[in-house]
Amino acid sequence: MAANGGPGASVMQARLTELAERFAGHGFQVLQAATAEEAVAHVSARADLASALVDWNLDGNEAASADGDGASAAEEVLRALATRYNRLPSFLVTRGESVDNLPLWVSEVVRGYVWLLEDTPDFVAGRIAHAARAYLEDSLPPFFTALRQFEDAHEYSWHTPAHAGGIAFLKSPVGRAFHDYYGERLLRTDLSISVAELGSLFEHTGPIGDAERNAARVFQADQTYFVLHGDSTCDRMVIHASVAQDDFVLVDRNCHKAVYHGLTMTGARPVYLVPTRNGYGLMGPIPPTELEAAAVVAKLAATPFAEGANTDGPSYAVITNSTYDGLCYNTVEVARLLGQTVPRLHLDEAWFAYAAFHPLYARRYGMAVGPETVPEDVRPTVFATQSTHKLLAALSQSAMVHVKSAPRCPVEPKLFNETFMMHGTTSPLYPMIASLDVAAGMMDGAGGRWMLDEAITEAIRFRQAVSRIARRITDAADRPSWFFGTWQPDTVTDPETGVQYPFADAPLDLLRTEPSCWTLAPGADWHGFEELTEGYCMLDPVKVAITCPGVDARGTVTPVGVPARILTSYLEHRGIVVEKTDAYTCLVLFSMGITKGKWGTLLDALIDFKNLYDAGTELRHVLPDLIERFPERYAKLTLPELCEQMHDHLSSLKLTTLLDDAFTHPPRPQLTPAQTYQRLIRGGTQPVRLAELAGRTVATMVVTTPPGIPVLMPGEHAGEHGGPILTYLRTLEDFDRHFPGFEAETHGVTIDRDGNYWINCVTSP
């Protein structure tokens, strides 16, 4: 309740106190706010409001915006309520003034009017409590609602799971500990599919089916499928449902392991789409020219897998959107280009499930590709697969497949369901289904936008704070001028006014609403990617790469450098764990779980690192755990000395050039993923030392960081000893030997006690 001021304030206050007592009788608590500011703070801090009462004369102001300029205090509160809550029953307290000259939008958002001095407190409280209860019931999504009702009914179960609502656990001390730890409710809602009232995941019926259809509406899909085994399963499922044996498929080289697993299962013949790299070694987007029909035709003509292939052209393409580093495509443009040759487009949106809920990401997610955005003759059927749990709020493994069918290749739900069932379980965990239902409910309407706005805002505040500190350090000129940065454009332009701002000084509202502030302008130095077109690729502000001195996006090496691995070791020592570390950048995520100002500790740690570096602090004071593990190697060094050793080593390796070489001369495929897998399960593979890998065909995916994407796919030829791939892998092996404790993150490689890399290969080519 927000009320204050105006004539008869004390009478009003007495009425409010009476009202609060009546609400308590209905089981509701009352929060009071005397000013608009206080009320807005409540609205933003709390997610458990059930109703609101706003005094139209709040702050003693007369209603302003109907004819005058500027909003009244009451309007400010109502606006805050409407941007935070979906259909929260809000009531306007009026004192006899006419309600027919209120601003139109106010009449639309308020549920009703309250004449506090005329009506009895019992009547007012009863009316509002009724609306509040209805709101609480209606605001929950379908499956969660049904599950709560079912759990309330307290039925006895004669079906699996055998713990029977948790009872079995109570019969053993170990089980009892488990029961006490999680509490009864989780176990009570762990039900089997024998509970017909809750519907069926395999048949998409009942409340489960309703929940999927509700999610489809929220995520703008034709159909949505709930998947309980991660986006990994979604990826395999979509490939399995789309690709026939011996089909050509176009695959983003920057793809997740699960995509490779899908290729293996189907007997597909992959042709890769190769992303660009920049000077930091970060993977950029696949250039638009690679997606054009002529380029696709040329790729197919060059593949060694042509013999015996289905000749209708590629049946399917998969692209990771956004990339780990937060680069997201104009998916409408991607669909328009690829649709000329490919009927099905799969966007792996493992890290991007939130994109549909904020205008900053308009046209940058899979479900934005539809009849209204792409001409029907080229529009492909689009699948978007999402790890709902990664960046929305859902239990781990909870994921979704969204489908938008095009007439040229419609997805027949009954047929797709055959694949769905093949990758599913007949014993789904209902709390996971509830968490998917709730994740969709949370993002629906105003609430989703509000939460994203908060994450985006915090990310921008952090980015600007880092830039401003860097500038203050330079301006002060009383210490070495280096500092960390965040990766984004140096300047942004307000498209309405044409005013250009240095990033640090740009208005927050501009940065959080204007996508053009974040798009990668072709040729711009800050990103360093080549072959882009205007608006094709955008940097997602919530994925923040912290840049360290040493190299820039163009690959220019500076004399002094701070390799990111040293920084992240220090951060870890301070209890701050980053998402990913590359050579001179590390990534932090501003997810919806962010709390205001949480980034203050990170900023503080960056400043401390600089001070330790500038003071030439001994390593044992900076990374004591490292010294304990490798005393002979590091005990005598200072922080700047270690940075110098590692920076010199990294720059002499010419990592960027090597990477570029490796990707410009892609490995030659020898076997398809399916053929390689047959070797694997028939004992046709063996580990081979990196030193002897020349001329061999690898049997496992080799992924190194940077760039964090496969340098070798199973079935590919490792090339010559002096070739780009083996040279690159040997430099990583060499780096690991020199810098124990800072080993590269490398998958598909086993490292022996002497630091040799071993990679699984097929036994004969």
Ligand X SMILES: *Cc1c(COP(=O)(O)O)cnc(C)c1O
3-state secondary structure 484-552: CEECCCCEEECCCCCCEEEHHHCCHHHHHHCHHHCECCCCCCCCCCCCCCCCCEEECCCEEEEECCCEC
Nearest-angstrom CA–CA distance, 683 and 602: 49
Closer Cβ to ligand X, 348 or 444, answer by number? 348
Nearer to ligand X among residue 210 and residue 235 (C-beta): 235
Helix 599-614 vs helix 639-653: crossing angle, to nearest 10: 90
> Nearest distance from residue 51's CB to ligand X, in Å?
38
Q: How far apart are CA 580 and CA 573, in angstroms?
A: 16
Tokens of 2: 């927000």
Q: Which residue is nearest to ligand X (CB)?
A: 230
Q: Give me the least distance between CB of 383 and ligand X, in Å please.
A: 13
- CB nearer to ligand X: give 172 or 396: 396
Sheet holding 757-762, edge to edge: 685-689, 757-762, 750-751
Cβ 181 to ligand X shortest distance, Å: 25
Separation of alpha carbons 507 and 350, rounded Å = 31
Q: Looking at beta carbons only, is 304 or 593 nearer to ligand X?
A: 593
CB of 212 to ligand X, least distance (A): 18
Q: What is the b/e burial string over 26-47, where b = at least 16 CB atoms within 10 angstroms of the residue's CB?
A: eebebbbbeebeebbebbeeee
Residue pair 19/57 in contact (Cβ under 8 Å)? The answer is no
Q: Using only the alpha carbons of the chain, give its radius of gyration.
A: 29
Q: Which is nearer to ligand X, 76 or 235 (CB)?
A: 235
How far apart are CB 234 and ligand X at their closest, in Å? Answer: 8
715, 676 contact by CB (below 8 A): yes
Pick the closer one to ligand X by CB: 261 or 277: 261
DSSP 70: S
- When the beta carbons of 179 and 389 are compared against ligand X, the nearer one is 389
Contact residues toward ligand X (CB under 6 A) are 230-232, 235, 256, 258, 320, 348, 350-351, 387, 399
CB 331 to ligand X: min, Å? 15
Question: Token pair 């190697």 is at which residue?
Answer: 633
Which is closer to ligand X, CB of 198 or CB of 544? Answer: 544
State the minimum distance, in angstroms, from the CB of residue 237 to ligand X. Answer: 11
Give dist(CA 719, CA 392) in Å, integer.
42
Burial class of residue 420, CB neighbours in 10 A (0-12, 13-18, 19+): buried
Cβ-contact 761, 699 below 8 angstroms: yes
Q: How far is the CB of 348 from ligand X (least distance, A)?
A: 5
Instruction: Specify whether the CB–CB gap between 293 and 341 falls below 8 A.
Output: yes
CA distance 43 to 74: 13
Please report how close the Cβ of residue 624 comes to ligand X at its closest, in angstroms: 33
CB-CB neighbours of 119 under 10 Å: 13
Alpha-carbon distance of 329 to 308, in angstroms, equals: 34
When the beta carbons of 549 and 748 are compared against ligand X, the nearer one is 748
Q: How far is the CB of 258 from ligand X (least distance, A)?
A: 5
